[in-house]
Chains A and B, each alone.
Chain A
Amino acid sequence: MSTWATRTAPAAPLRRAALLAASVVALFLPAAAGAQIRNSRHDLSSTSTASVKAQSETQICKFCHTPHGAESTRLLWNRGQTTQAAYTWGTPATAAGTPLPSSLMARSKMCLGCHDGSISIGSLRNAGGGPAGTVAITDVAGRVAGGRLVAGTYTVGVGGNMSGSHPVSIPYAGQNGYNGINSAVTGAAVTAGYRTVLTGTTCQNRTGICTNTTGTSGPNGVVIELYQGTGGVGIECNSCHEPHNEYGFQWLLRVDAATSDNLCRSCHTK
């Protein structure tokens, strides 16, 4: 994915046009594109309709991004990564034999900082006006205690235990027939930014590389995204999830997985 800044600003006029077009075909679209973070579950501001939110902080972006005092300029990341040093999967490899990693890529560890419960949701590099600090989060029974997610609905990898979850920080198979993945390109041809697409015959991604498109109708252009990791291009949390609720699907997914198989079938042509 590109940075948050480049995603929104230059495309704004086009997006308005898109929304207009979308309204025309709304009946055909189970989930309208162009949803937003406001009132999504990642809207942690005190005014959000989400259940997990700040006690008084009204900003949304700052829970992950800050223009100054960020952990790194890249993504202007306003958070620490997870403090969990290693992860286990309950099995050393996938059914197809891909080894499962004990250390994860930074991109996934950004998510896991909150979602494995190791860091307070409100713990920020720049909590306001420069210094690091902690924004107060309202306790929610079974979900948040003391500012951290507690094991349950919103957690993944608590205590480093990723057992029962789809692997992340693993290479994209990139070879036909491997684990059901049916890729139009294989091996080294799969590069960062490569996206699998569910529908259509025209590639809807930045690099012009598509998988075979055997899917039925679905939100076109909504894609699984691959990221550069060590030793190749792989799957991270963001491959399936879009944390800003850009697509409006449940669980902040890029493709609907609440009512259809389209998300899974974007890669697994089963």
Chain B
Amino acid sequence: MTRLPAIALVLLPAFASGAGDIRQSRHNLSVSGPGSVKALAEGRSCVFCHVAHSGVGAGENRPDSGVQHRPYQSGTLSSEAAPRATGASRMCLSCHDGTVAVGRTVKFGEIRMRGGASGRVEGKANLGFDLSASHPVSFRARHTGRTRDPRRDEGVPLDRQGMVQCTSCHDPHVEDADPQQKKFLVKANRGAALCLSCHQLPYWQSNPASHQQSMASPVPPGAAPEPYATIADNGCANCHAMHGAGGQSLVRGERNQGDDAVCLRCHDGRVAKLDVASEVAKPFAHAAARAGPSGHDAAEGPMSPSRPLPETRPSQARHATCVDCHDPHAAANRSALAPRAPGSLSGVWGVDRNGMRVQPVNFEYEVCFKCHADSANQPQRQGGALAGRLPKRARPEVNLRLVFDPSSAASFHPVVGPGRNARMNGLLAAPLTSRSVVYCSDCHSSDTPSPRTPRGPHGSNVEHLLAAGYATGGSVAESPSAYALCYRCHLRDKLLSGESLFSRAAAAGGARESLHARHLLVPRAATSCSTCHNAHGVSALSGTPGANAHLIDFDRNVVGGAAQYSAGATGGSCTLSCHGKEHVNLGY
């Protein structure tokens, strides 16, 4: 074999190095490395991890860190991580748990590094022993529908045992396969392409979720930029961190900021159009505490032994977080007609009218029933201060699933199905009729609606998170604002006129006398709607269609005596004592 051509070629200038191999990466720990962590003199980069002979395992040159790591835990995790990092992950953690000096090798001993010090990885690259805030490694995924093994052509390699390792997401030899994010990712994670190689989100692409499509900036003005410029491109990384995640489910942020912090960072009108943050800051709101865990857990549900929801024990803490009602992987801007769930509730699970778990919810009330139906820890059950401020019903029922059940409840507002009273037409604001169905959030929502205010029960200045005024008690001066909530649907001028069915023929003939007006306007009575009506309804356990039609369920704080109502075919009669006035089978 001749040498001449070989030597001639040596005289040619060195070829420009190809972009993106070990030499250009910060894992080139040799003296020629581009990073700050590098050897004093060692010219080789392979040897920091590999050796041809006398290594451990398959030519591995990294000593074992020897520590037990604390792996990621989640109630929804169905796979079991190995108790110790195995395979390539063992090698990675040899440096990245901060235990073994970067320059220490099995075969060549200690390679002297620049800077002296301990030679251990410091800063964010030091993951430490506690890996509970990192995506798990060294496990074989047990797929339960939300994950899958990546296809070979997706470039997200499992190891030969089918295990997820550090090297599934990171190619330690190529730093910039994702030119935006770098981080040695195996491929560009634009649009979460890397994450979605394993994780299946049923509504993310098919729905499609607003977060999947949003062209908005992933960060509020002034915040440090994200790897990608739009929420759509930034993908999972908008909310999740694979290392150093502060919240549950690898959610970003600090735990002491509260579970909603990651959402409200954008949903305060600065990035997302609607200002949820201002709403949940109101005195009556569905919001997680501003600090500490909310109690929400992704594993909660009717079948969860440790996290039953609806709650089964009065002692269980109640919680409300954004993700109790919204699935950020599915929520989309799509309107619907009551009682159908709008796009904002896409994908979430709920409790249907029969008390069964349903996912995704079909109807808005199924979301509400998660906490306001069978839950054993509703404060109204517990008595206390709240109970004192509520109308006192004969047989209160806080299970709203029973209260609104159109097949059994005595009477009810038409939330689950159309109401019982077929003679409402003309008394309701158009286009409502006797056949209409309304949302829970038609009454429970913001008291300051605007184009920048989200629909739904996020927060209100009105107690019970009501959309408008609703005065209760025995002595209330009627006004459009006192019962503004009711008058949104029940036309005030009709209600207080003889057109209302709760009326009687005038003594002198002419127009019928409104008995609503008599109870609400006459100063001696001047009582609240809630004195006679139960705004939600009367369940089969609390009343009968005869005695509790038309939501009649007297407030025992105001009404004494027998406090009985009897509905007839076209009218009804009352036997009760109120304001010192006795009604005995007084009819209308």
Q: Which residues of A contact B (CB under 8 A)?
A: 2, 7, 11, 14-15, 17-18, 21-22, 25, 28-29, 33-34, 89-91, 93-97, 156, 163-167, 180, 199-202, 204, 206, 213-217, 219-222, 240, 257-261, 264-265, 268-270
Contact = CB atoms under 8 A, between A and B. Distances in A.
A174 B1 CA distance: 25
A63 to B, nearest CB: 21
Contacts of A156: 53
Given A94-B58, A270-B22, A165 B3 contact: no
Contacts of B159: 95
B473 interface: no
Contact of A89 (B58, B88, B160): B58
Interface of B: 1-15, 17-18, 21-23, 30, 43-46, 50-60, 87-88, 106, 159-160, 173-174
A11 B4 CA distance: 11
Contacts, number: 131
B7 A18 contact: yes
A222 B6 CA distance: 8
Nearest to A200: B9
A220 B87 contact: no
A188 to B, nearest CB: 20
Contacts of A258: 44
Given A11-B2, A90-B57, A259-B44, A220 B10 contact: yes
B564 to A, nearest CB: 80
Given A94-B160, A165-B52, A18 B3 contact: yes
A28 B10 contact: yes
Given A14-B2, A95-B88, A164 B7 contact: no
A220 B8 CA distance: 9
A211 to B, nearest CB: 13
Contacts of B8: 21
A216 B45 CA distance: 14
Given A95-B87, A156-B53, A264-B50, A33 B58 contact: no
B44 A164 contact: no
B11 A221 contact: no
A97 B159 CA distance: 8
> Do most interface residues of chain B lie in helix, strand or loop, or is the interface mixed?
loop
A164 B59 CA distance: 4
Nearest to A270: B173
B165 to A, nearest CB: 9
Contact of B3 (A34, A93, A259, A268): A34
Nearest to B3: A18
Contact of A33 (B6, B12, B18, B173): B6
Given A94-B160, A164-B54, A164-B55, A25 B173 contact: no
A11 B57 CA distance: 42
B18 A214 contact: yes
B53 A219 contact: no
A141 B159 CA distance: 42
Given A18-B2, A261-B23, 18 more contacts: A7-B1, A14-B2, A21-B8, A33-B3, A90-B58, A91-B57, A156-B53, A164-B51, A164-B55, A164-B56, A164-B58, A216-B15, A216-B23, A217-B13, A219-B10, A220-B7, A260-B43, A270-B173
Nearest to A214: B18
B15 A164 contact: no
8 contacts: A14-B3, A164-B53, A164-B106, A202-B5, A221-B9, A260-B43, A261-B22, A261-B30
Given A199-B15, A259-B43, A261-B44, A29 B10 contact: yes
Contact of A240 (B51, B52, B160): B52
B53 A220 contact: no
A221 B6 CA distance: 5
A257 B52 contact: yes
A126 B362 CA distance: 89
Nearest to B55: A164
B21 A270 contact: yes
Nearest to B159: A95
A261 B45 contact: yes
A95 B160 contact: yes
Contacts of A216: 14-15, 17, 23
A28 B55 contact: no
A205 to B, nearest CB: 9
A167 B290 CA distance: 57
A260 to B, nearest CB: 6
A217 B14 contact: yes
A11 B50 CA distance: 37
A263 B510 CA distance: 109
Contact of A22 (B7, B15, B58, B160): B7
A96 B160 contact: yes
Contacts of A206: 1
Contacts of A221: 3, 5-7, 9
**Central interface residue in B10, B18, B51, B57, by most chain A CB within 10 Å:** B10
A52 B14 CA distance: 39
Nearest to A100: B58
B9 to A, nearest CB: 4
B58 A95 contact: yes
Contacts of B11: 25, 28
Q: Which of A7, A166, A221, A265 has the most CB of B within 10 A?
A: A221
A90 B22 CA distance: 27
Contacts of A265: 46
Contact of A15 (B3, B30, B43, B51): B3
Contacts of A94: 58, 160
